[in-house]
Copies of this chain bind each other. A is one copy, B any other.
Amino acid sequence: MESFAAHSQKGIMVVFSGPSGAGKNSIISSLIEADVNRVHSISLTTREPRPHEVNGVSYHFTTREHFETLIRHGDVLEYDEYCGSFYGTPREPVFQYLNEGKDVLLDLTVAGALQIREKCPDAILVFIMPPSIQELVSRLSTRGTESEDALAHRVETAKQELRMAVKFDYCVENAKLEDAVNDITAIMRAEKCRVSRLCIDGRLDKTV
Contacts and interface: CB of A to CB of B under 8 A. Distances in A.
Given A2-B134, A207-B162, A171 B198 contact: yes
Identical copies in the complex: 2
Interface residues of A, number: 44
Instruction: List the 10 shortest-distance A-B pairs measured between CB atoms, nearest first.
Output: A6-B173, A190-B190, A186-B189, A186-B186, A187-B190, A162-B208, A170-B193, A186-B190, A4-B129, A163-B208
Given A189-B190, A193-B170, A133 B2 contact: yes
A123 to B, nearest CB: 14
A9 to B, nearest CB: 13
A129 B162 CA distance: 39
Interface string A1-32: 11111110000000000000000000000000
A24 to B, nearest CB: 15
B170 A195 contact: yes
A119 interface: no
Contacts of A134: 1-2
Contacts of A4: 129-132, 162, 173
Interface string A156-178: 00010011011111111100000
Contacts of A165: 195, 204
Given A3-B132, A6-B171, 20 more contacts: A2-B133, A3-B131, A4-B131, A4-B132, A4-B173, A5-B173, A6-B129, A6-B172, A6-B173, A162-B207, A169-B195, A170-B193, A171-B195, A183-B189, A186-B186, A186-B193, A187-B189, A189-B190, A190-B190, A190-B191
